[in-house]
Structure 1
Amino acid sequence: MHDRAAHAYRQVAAAGRRRVERWAGIPRVLDALAVLGCFALMSLDIPGLAAADNSLNGWAATAVLAAGSATLLLRRRFPWLTYAVALLLIGWLHELTLVQFALYSLGRYRGRRAGVLGILGYVAVSYVLFQLPGWPVHRADTLSEFLSLVVPIGVLAAGVGIAANRQDLVRALQEQRAETAVLHAVQGERAEVAGDVHDFVGRELTLLCVRSDVLARRARAAGDEAYAGQFEELGDTGRRAHTLLNEIIVRRADDSTPSPGLDVLPGLVEQSERAGTPVLLDVDERAGRLSPLRQAAVYRVAQECLTNAAKHAPGEKVRVRIAVDDTCVRVHVTNPLPSAPPARTPVSTGTGTAGMAERVRSVGGTFAAGRRDGTYEVVAELPAGQVRHRKD
C-alpha cells in the first residue's frame, strides 16, 4: 500500500512539473512573471517615493510603477521602449529596479551590441543625474559609491542578458543541427528503401528475362517463330526495364547521364502501338530545338500520358500534339474514355499526374488534367525559353 501511494505521489509530482515546465516555456507567461516580479520589487519603494515627491501619493506612485513595469510585456519586440521608460523613472523617481530588467532585455533580445549601448547610455544618464542636486543620499553620496552601486547594476543585468542571448543562439544552432541530422536520417532511409527496391525488383526482372529467353528457345525449337519473337521482345523489354531501374536508383547522382529528349519520342510511340495503343503524334519541328531541360519535361508528360492511357483506356487512340511558338510550349494529349472500365484493374500508385505537374511547374509552366466531353485531356504549358536556331 505504501509503495502504491508513493508511486501515485511521484506520478502526480511529475505531472505537475511537466505542467509547470509547459507553462513556463510560454513567452507571454515569462513576460507576465517578469512584470509581476519587477512591480513587486519597486512596490517596496512606494512609501519612500510618496514621501520624497509631494506630487505623488501612495496610489499615484503605485500607478506610475505599475505602468512602467507593464512595458516589460513588450520587451521582446520593443526592448528600447522599456529602456527609455526605465531611464525616465531614474530621472524622475531615482528608481533603479526597472532599468535592470530593461538592460537584461536589451542584451537578451537584441544581442551584445545593444547591451553595450544600453550600459553606456544608462551610466551616462545616471552620472549626469548624480551630479545634480536631489539624488538620494542613501543611493550614492560619493563618486566611489556611484561606481560601486550604479555601474555594477547595469553591467551585471546586461551581461546576464547577453549571456542568455548567446545561449539562445547555441540552442538554435543545436536545434538546426538536430533537424539536419533528421533530414540526413530520412535521406539515408530513403536510400536504403531505394536499394531494397532495386534488389527485389531487379531480381524479379532478371528472372523474367531468363524465363523469356527459355520460352523463346523452346518456341523456336517447336518451330513457332512468331511466339519465339514475342518472347524475345518480352525479354528485351525486361532488360530495358532493369537498365532503367539502375539509371534511376543506382546512378541517380551522376549528372552526366543525359535526360531523354524528344528525339526518342517516336520510339516511345512505337512501343505504345506495339502494346495495343494507337498514337497520333504531331510534333512541331521547332520542338527539337528546345533546351534539354524543357525537352525532358515534354517527354515525361507524353510518356506518362501514354502509360496512363494504356492502363485506363487500353486500345483507345491517343492524340499527342506538341506546339511551339516564340514564348510557349504546349503539350496537348487526349484519349477517349472507355465505355466500360478495363476487365483487370490496372496497377497504379496514383502519383503519375502529380509527377507530371511537378515536372512542368519546376520549369515555370502550368498543368491541367481531367475529364472533358467523354475524353481525358492533359494540357501542359511551359515557357519556351531561348529556342536554339538551327545551323544550316
Structure 2
Amino acid sequence: MKTEYDVVIIGAGASGLMCAAQAGKRGKRVKVLDHGPKPGRKILMSGGGRCNFTNRRVSAQNYISSNPHFVKSALSRYRPEDFIDLVRQYGIRFSEREHGQLFCTDSAGQILDMLLAECRKSGVSLAPKTIITRIERDRSARGFQIRTSGESINAESLVIATGGVSMPAAGATPFGYKVAEQFGIPVVQPRPGLVPFTVQPADKTVLSPLAGISVKARACTGSASFEEQLLFTHRGLSGPVILQASSYWQSGAPVTIDLFPDGNIGELLETVCKTRPKRHVKSVLAEYLPTRLVQARLDEKLLNCPLNRISRQALKTVVDAIQTWNLQPGGTEGYRTAEVTVGGIDCRRFSSKTMESNDVPGLYAIGEVLDVTGWLGGYNFQWAWSSAWAAGQAV
C-alpha cells in the first residue's frame, strides 16, 4: 500500500508530538511513526512521574552543544511562557520548585494527553509499532519515500525526532543517528549525560557504607561548576549536583567536590578555637556534616585532636579533605540510568530557525537527537517544545 503525506515524523516523543500538532494546525497532512507500542514513554517516566515540563529561567547558557548559539533562535521564538499558556488551556495544575522548575501537580500523563489531544485536533495520524525498513530520497520530486513493514509512504518533509540513546529500556535507539549518517550528516560522538558517577574500587570500599547520605555540595569539572545536593550510593555518587557535572565530565578527568560550599572550614575551626579551644575537630564538623561522612574523609586521630593543638598543616588537611576533594570517577552508570544523551546529530549542519538540514532539503531534526543537551531541571523538555515548534512552522 502506498500513501502520501506532507510530513512524516519519526518518533512519538515530546518533540515529535509537538511538531506534529504544529504542522497539523497549518493544514499539513502529518503522520508520526514510532517503533514503540505507545507514544510518549519518556514523558510518563520524567520528573518522578510528574514531568518537569519546563523551567522559567531558560537561556542558551543552560545547554551544551558544539554550536552554543544554535538554540537561541528557537528558544526566543517559543518560550517557556508559551508552553505554560498551553498547559493552562488544558487546565493542568502545576507547581514551581527551586531554580524555576515547573512540575505537574498530579501526573506526567496530563502532558502526554495534552499533546495527543493537540495532535487529534490537527488531524495527525499516529502509527505505533511501526518498523521502518528503508528511507530514500524521492528522486522524481522533492521529498522522501519511507518503507515500513506495512506500507510505503511518500512525504515532502521528513522529521527526525527519535531522541537520544539514554534509557534503552524506554525504547531509545540510535536509529535517528543512522538516518542522519545515511544522508551524509555527521553525528557528534554521543555519551551519557545527567548520569550518576561510579567510583574506583578503592574509593568504593570507603564510600559505599555512606549510601543514602545526602549533603549540599559544589562539584566542579573543567570550567563547569554546580551547587546542589549530592547523594552517596552503593555504586558511587549521584544527586542533582553530580548529574549536572556528569554532562560536562570527560572520561579520565577529576571532579573537585566541596562538601561545605556555604563557608570555609578552616575559618570556622579557627573561630571556634578562640572560644572553645579544647573542642575536638570531630565535634565541630559533626554540627555541619554527617558524622559517617566526616569519618570517611579524615583520619580518626586528626578528628579527635583538640582545636588548640592542631597544626597549620593538619588544618590544611581538614580543609582539603572537605572542601577540595579531588575525586577520580571510575566512570558513569551509562545509558541505562542517564537522563539524556550528550552529543548527537551535528546541529552545525541545520538551520537554527527552521531545524531543516542545510544539505538535504526537506530533512529536519528536532529535540534530543540533535547535539543539544540541557541542564537538569526542565531545560531538555523546553528544547523539545521550542525546536519542534520551529520545525512545525517550516515543514
When the two structures are superposed, what TM-score results if normalisation uses the length of structure 2? 0.18
Bigger Cα Rg: 1
Higher RCO, Cα 8 Å, sep 6+ = 2
Higher helix share: 1
TM-score by length of 1: 0.19
User: 1 or 2, which has the higher strand percentage?
Assistant: 2
